[in-house]
Structure 1
Amino acid sequence: MPKVMHIRDVPDDVHDAIARAARAEGLSLTRYMQRELEHLARRAQIVRDNVEVVRRTQERVRGRSDRDTILAVLHDGRGD
């Protein structure tokens, strides 16, 4: 179920910039912020996933750090 969020104390210049960006894309401020929050959440998940891939890569490489080994392990960790 969707949640309601209230953000307080947004500086005027930030609000104005976001409102201009929303208008430029033909979106309401609410829809624009929903989309931006969705993007932010996806980026945060990608960062977490990449941290895990790097951790697993470091564990598997264990000192063998030639380029081909690192790329192979990264591709394997990402499921490429």
Structure 2
Amino acid sequence: MTALTIRDVPDDQIHTLKVRAALAGKSLQAFMQELIAREVAKPTMAEMMARLDRETTAEVGARDIVSAIDEGRAGR
């Protein structure tokens, strides 16, 4: 695993993170690893859009749509 160093983190933010880690029963390191893991597990909007483009392509034309509407109306 690679070590990660973050410089110039304000003291109040470090204090808040330490308190939250303690409340969660974790070390600051374990808490930060979990925080990073949660963040990287969330896809970005660009990643979601790319996934939607891959998974939702359909070969439907205007005629198909009009036909489906007509069939729905005829079934009433």
Q: Shorter-normalised TM-score: what interval? A: 0.5 to 0.7
Using the TM superposition, give the Cα deviation of residue 49 of structure 1 relative to its aligned residue in structure 2, in angstroms: 3.4
Alignment correspondent of 1:18: 17
Q: What is the alpha-carbon distance in structure 1 between the residues aligned to residue 51 and residue 27 of structure 2?
A: 37
Label 1:3 to 1:60 Cα distance change in 2 as closer, same or farther (>3 A): same
Q: Under a length normalisation based on structure 1, what TM-score does the superposition of the two structures give?
A: 0.60
CA-atom RMSD, angstroms? 2.6
Give me the identity figure in percent: 25
Task: Return 5+ residue gaps in structure 1 as ranges.
Answer: 65-80
Higher helix share: 1
Q: Under a length normalisation based on structure 2, what TM-score does the superposition of the two structures give?
A: 0.63
Amino acid at match of 1:34: Q
Larger radius of gyration: 2
Using the TM superposition, give the Cα deviation of residue 60 of structure 1 relative to its aligned residue in structure 2, in angstroms: 4.8
Task: Return 5+ residue gaps in structure 2 as ranges.
Answer: 63-76
User: What number of residue pairs does the alignment pair up?
Assistant: 61
